[in-house]
Amino acid sequence: MHTEPTTFSAESYFATQPSPQHLQQDVDKVRDFVTKQAKEGRSVVLVTSGGTTVPLELNVVRFLDNFSAGTRGATSAEYFLKAGYAVIFMHRQFSLQPFSRHYSHSTNPFLDFLDIDPPEAAGAIPRISVTPSKRADLLEVLTAYKEVHARGTLHTLTFVTVNDYLWLLRAVSKEMAVLKRRAMFYLAAAVSDFFLPTQKMSEHKIQSGKGNLSIEMDQVPKILKPLVDEWTPGGYIVSFKLETDQDLLLPKARQAIERYGHQVVIGNDLHRRKFEVVFVSKKLVPTLPPGIEQTKEATQQAANSFSEYWLRINLPEHPLPDAPVKEIEEDIVQELVRRHTEWIENTP
């Protein structure tokens, strides 16, 4: 069936698409978390992570998915915590999470770390211990994890669909508005650009007897604009742009900065993302001493130009099994913390 595509603004989207069931409970918990962090004088970063789904049926059997394991988000969250930030970690259900990501069931199964020690006496229960070669790493991760829990600086939220994601992002960003410049947004989730409005979805499983399936999807509204202008004015906003064509990376990142007016777009190519990213931002127009006026042309030129900062790390081609591997997120977060701090100090 062919239906006319609808153009959704953020406003019409939220007026017509249903909110997730647990939204209010989630928001109440975020409010408590933000209030505590604000009282304790911490900056708070919202890290979004993982891919969103687009269900094709109301009683969902099939859905489209966006690529993302959640590595970027989970790893970055750990480095933000290490840098003294409080983190709201909003991630796709069952994707990687800070700390537990080190023991992902597929790449580093937890059970392989454990030994069963022979019982000390006949009839005694055998004891479980950590394999000696794994103890140092585990101790480091566990210590950081326990410290974060004791301080209460990590709050976790989950989404599955693009609809969950949009509703949560709006609600959480409004809660973070009280933090003003101390709020950072690190939008690393891979969010679908297309969706099927509930009004156009089949109630039941789409049947296969009718030949080919063609589905027309509507565009997800561009939510960066209201995020910047309305939901959390004053926040420091970092979005990610994933491309598979390296030549599109810079033009698309610049376009996003131009369109939405936020602080940084981090561009990454699908196959190079673990060792190379580019930070794109607007060049600052220098403030001249009082009494001296910038020429119109110079102001225009500066306002139209972008700064590009490539961050690269060397990854060993054949890493040794237990050797620590440098993570690019460490450098990404370090650079962002530096920029955010400078921005807090210099923004009137």
User: Could you say which of 37, 71, 163, 173 contacts ligand PAZ (CB under 6 A)?
Assistant: 71
Residue 188 vs 196, nearer CB to ligand PAZ: 188
Question: Tokens for 91?
Answer: 């991630």
The one segment of 81-89, 195-203, 239-247, 339-347 that binds ligand PAZ by CB under 6 A:
239-247
Strand partners, 90: 48, 157
User: Could you say which of 77, 190, 238, 257 contacts ligand PAZ (CB under 6 A)?
Assistant: 190
Instruction: Based on the shown chain and the rule CB under 6 A, indicate whether residue 256 belongs to the binding site for ligand PAZ.
Output: no
Q: Cβ distance 320 to 310 under 8 Å?
A: no
Residue type, 97: Q
Least distance to ligand PAZ, CB of residue 220, Å = 10
User: Could you say which of 26, 54, 72, 236 contacts ligand PAZ (CB under 6 A)?
Assistant: 72
Measured in whole angstroms, the distance separating CA 16 from the mean position of its chain's CA atoms is 26
Taken in order 316, 322, 326, 329, the sign of the CA dihedral is positive
Q: Of the candidates 187, 186, 183, which has an alpha carbon nearest to the alpha carbon of residue 175?
A: 183
Measured in whole angstroms, the distance separating CA 39 from the mean position of its chain's CA atoms is 25
Strand partners, 307: 281
Least distance to ligand PAZ, CB of residue 277, Å = 8
Least distance to ligand PAZ, CB of residue 52, Å = 9
Taking every pair of C-alpha atoms in the chain, what is the biggest distance, in angstroms?
90
Q: Dump strand ranges (E) for 106-159.
A: 114-117, 127-130, 154-159
Instruction: Based on the shown chain and the rule CB under 6 A, indicate whether residue 68 belongs to the binding site for ligand PAZ.
Output: yes
User: Could you say which of 227, 242, 265, 337 contacts ligand PAZ (CB under 6 A)?
Assistant: 242
User: Could you say which of 36, 222, 225, 273 contacts ligand PAZ (CB under 6 A)?
Assistant: 273
| Opening angle at CA 239, ends 251 and 88, nearest 5 | 170
User: Could you say which of 160, 179, 188, 249 contacts ligand PAZ (CB under 6 A)?
Assistant: 188
CA–CA dist 23, 35 (Å, integer):
18
Q: Cβ distance 47 to 88 under 8 Å?
A: yes
- The count of chain residues that interact with ligand PAZ, using the rule CB under 6 A, is 13
Least distance to ligand PAZ, CB of residue 207, Å = 32
Residue 68 vs 263, nearer CB to ligand PAZ: 68
Burial bucket for residue 138 (CB in 10 Å: 0-12, 13-18, 19+): middle
Instruction: Based on the shown chain and the rule CB under 6 A, indicate whether residue 336 belongs to the binding site for ligand PAZ.
Output: no
The one segment of 1-9, 22-30, 234-242, 332-340 that binds ligand PAZ by CB under 6 A:
234-242
User: Could you say which of 10, 183, 191, 333 contacts ligand PAZ (CB under 6 A)?
Assistant: 191
Residue 84, φ and ψ in degrees, nearest 5? 95, 5
Residue 162 vs 176, nearer CB to ligand PAZ: 162
Which residues of this chain interact with ligand PAZ, rule CB under 6 A? 68-72, 188, 190-191, 240-242, 268, 273
